[in-house]
Structure 1
Amino acid sequence: MHYRGLLYRALNPIWAREPLSGEGARRFGGRFNPKGTPTLYTSLSIMAAIREANQIGTLQPTTLVAYRADLEPVFDATDASNLHRYGLAPADLAANDWRIRMQENRKAPTQILAEQLVAAGYAGMLARSFVNGATEEDRNLVLWTWGDALSCLISVVDDEGRLS
């Protein structure tokens, strides 16, 4: 699929000066990336972005950033038939054991799926948000390839230079 529109992230202020780095995900890993793989986790709504950035405990300081995006190809993981082609079901994406598997130096099925999609040439994946308080309508766009390449355009909305 092709995605064109705005995306959002609620960044830890540590990363606010590098809102396109994917460095935090590279260092620590995530549901859709093993450690060592830079990944940009974005949301299609501001509230989903805030929930994603504050999954544990009370709301922590965050820097809300918007991006203009024009991305393809994007794998649509909200379509169960697409997941089925990779031997997964929607419940597999929602499983919360990915952190435990990483602690055991193993990969979660969602991380293996991400590696397969990267190898197949996908720039990213559209998926439901699975954080507490998320609804069926909350969506994330997880990116493994981004920048200023023609098919993976993403730029920070910072018309006034506040992040520089």
Structure 2
Amino acid sequence: MLFRGKLYRALNPVYAREPLSGRGAQLYGGRFNPKGVPALYASLSVMTALREANQVGNLQPTTLVSYDADIDDIFDCRDGMALQAEGMDDAALASGTWRDQMKATGEARTQAFARKLIASGYRGLLVRSFASGANEIDLNLVLWTWSDAPPSRLILIDDENRLQQT
């Protein structure tokens, strides 16, 4: 599928100067990227981005950024038949044990799924948010490939260069 529109990320301020790096996910791994694989976890709404960034405890300092996106070859996890064809299902996507799986075996099932999609040429996946308080309309776009030009165009919206002034 093609995704064209606005995306939002709520970043740890440590990474605010590099909102296009994917470095945090690369260093620690995420639900949909194994360690060593950079990824940008973005949301289709501001509130979903805030929920995603602050899933544990109290609201922590957060830098909110937005992007203009025009990205092709996105896997749509809302398509149950496509999920099944890739050996995945909704319960596995939502499993809160992915960190435990990663510690035990080196790679969670959702990370292996992502690795398979990357090898198949997908640039990212559209998936519902599993953060507390989210529902089926709260969506995330996880990107493994992005650039400043189509078919993987992702442009940070910072017309006033505010991030460079911090």
TM-score (norm. length: structure 1): 0.98
Deviations 1:20-47 (A, max 9, x none): 0000000110000111110000000000
Q: Do structure 1's residue 13 and structure 2's residue 13 form an aligned pair? A: yes
Corresponding position: 1:137 with 2:137? yes
Contact in 1 for aligned 2:17/2:163 (Cα 8 Å): yes
The within-5 A match list for 1:10-159 is 10-159=10-159
CA distance in structure 1 between the partners assigned to 2:120 and 2:88 by the alignment: 16
Q: Is the 8 A contact 2:101 2:109 kept in 1?
A: no
Measure how far apart 1:148 and its partner are.
Answer: 1.7
2:82, 2:162 → 1: CA distance?
40
In 1, the alpha carbon distance for the partners of 2:25 and 2:89 equals 24
Moved segments of 4+, more than 4 Å: none
Ranges in structure 1 where 5+ consecutive residues have no aligned partner: none
Q: Deviations over 1:66-118 (max 9, x none)?
A: 00000011000111111001111111100111100122243111101100110
Moved more, 149-158 or 4-13: 149-158
Q: Residues of 1 paired with 2:3 and 2:67: CA distance?
A: 12
How far, CA to CA, are the matches of 1:49 and 1:105 in structure 2?
29
* Amino acid in the other structure paired with 2:119: A
The more displaced of 101-110 and 140-149 is: 101-110
User: What SS does structure 2 have at the residue aligned with 1:154?
Assistant: strand
- The answer to whether the 8 A contact 2:22-2:40 is kept is yes
Residue 150 of structure 1: how far off its partner (Å): 2.0
Q: TM-score, normalised by structure 2?
A: 0.97
Partner AA of 2:11 in structure 1: L
Supply the RMSD in Å over aligned alpha carbons: 0.8
Hey, what's the Cα distance between the residues in 2 that align with 1:111 and 1:64? 26
**Could you list the runs of 5+ residues in structure 2 that have no partner in the other structure?**
none
Aligned positions, number: 164
Q: Alpha-carbon deviation of 1:158?
A: 0.3
